[in-house]
Amino acid sequence: MGGHHKPTITVTDDESIRLNPAWQSVRVVALAAGVVFLLLAMALGLMQEDKSYFFHTFLTSFVYFLSISLGALFFVPIHFLARAGWNVVVRRVAELMMQNLIPMSILFLVILLPVIFGSSSLFDWNNPELLVKGGKDYDQLIAHKEPYLNWGFFAIRAVIYFGAWIWIARYFFTNSLKQDGTGDKQITLNLQKNSSLAVIVFALTVTFASFDWLMSLDPHWFSTIFGVYFFAGCAVSFFAAITVILFLLQNDGKLVGIVTKEHYHDIGKYTFGFTLFWGYIAFSQYLLIWYANIPEETEWYLRRQEHGWAYVAIFLLLGQFFIPFFGVMSRHVRRNKYALTGWAIFILVMHYVDLYYIIMPQVGNAEGAPTFGLTDICCLLGIGGIYISSLIWFATDKPLVPIKDPRLNESLALQNH
């Protein structure tokens, strides 16, 4: 990352690194709007003859916001593992973003409870008629996968995933806050020591969660690279989201002179790198499956090349890879927080399109064209409102910088060459 100079600023625990009281009004409004929009989405979903559309669009918005927090869950332990110092002044924001895994676990009940009570609106494999040997709807492949794809094991795995994620998030956050009070350097050493286990658990749980909640929407399809594909989306959306959050905080007078263009530059480099990584993984998955030409694998892509979905695929290829690749490539863009924030917003929009492309073609297994209507908007605004509200709640009365981290001065002195 280059050399360092003596920092010209000392971080103290005062109002300059805490949220303004005005954000509490935003929190209340966001929560109220989120609940109203979510209830409206549910009402619209119940009015539709095919209930599967609501569950699919809810899953799209749910995974969208979940993936941002999962990206944060990767960011924090991986930098402890690497013993990196540059990230300290932005790490608390990432720690706060991790805490939103708690409300996301509650929202997941909208998906989990119908599965437990026998609904197959979202997951075909939960339809018992497909498992009756000799029956007219018997599906041999789904029956073969039944030991893994059944509502009981599905629920147990979901509890394990969220349990592991919340434990990691709380462990790093509570110890970081504890260090704010004590300044004990041993806390950093302990977090470094346990970060390797956290990264391993993260990798395994995120991979299997993507299999369970996204890949099993089409239980005939399989891709061993899909977990990496989902992780790449989590990472790039997190770096885009933290860019926007830091921009908003600085516009509100917080972290000014603490988070500098040097930190934006490094976040921009991550954004650029994971944009490239996402494109590489997406292309690798497509190339290997299409070249092998195995019907169970190619069917997934074939569905997404018909009835207008090909236009979404092309839009995704351009918007999630080529356009941001060239947009964030420039050093000047990465060092300009206004330009970088603009690209971050664009990337966040495209991340939603990516998940929409994965999930929505499976609605009722119908050969329908892409649609985006009031139900989709209400789900997005509903979950988004709750996400923003809980993020502000977790940040209330907390320093936005780890004020006694032993590497704080290193982060304040960051210089890119």
If one counts every other C-beta atom within 10 angstroms of the C-beta of residue 136, the result is 6
State the pLDDT confidence band at 13, using cuts at 50, 70 and 90.
low
Cα separation of 261 and 149, whole Å?
48
Q: What is the pLDDT of residues 238-287, one digit of tens each?
A: 999 999 999 999 999 999 999 999 999 999 999 999 999 999 999 999 99
Comparing 60-74, 247-261, 363-377, the range with the smallest average pLDDT is 363-377
Q: How confident is the model at residue 168 (pLDDT cuts 50, 70, 90)?
A: very high
Q: How confident is the model at residue 365 (pLDDT cuts 50, 70, 90)?
A: low
Taking only the tens place, the pLDDT of each residue in 323-349 is 999 999 999 999 999 999 999 999 999
Q: Which residues contact 335 (CB under 8 A, 6 or more apart)?
A: 261, 262, 264, 265, 268
The pLDDT of residue 364 is: 63
Average pLDDT estimate for 104-125 = 96
Mean pLDDT of 179-184: 95
Residue 295's pLDDT is what?
84
pLDDT, tens digit, 9 for 90 and up, residues 22-48 = 999 999 999 999 999 999 999 999 888
* pLDDT tens digit sequence for 217-240: 999 999 999 999 999 999 999 999
DSSP state of 321: I
Confidence of residue 2 (pLDDT cuts 50, 70, 90): very low
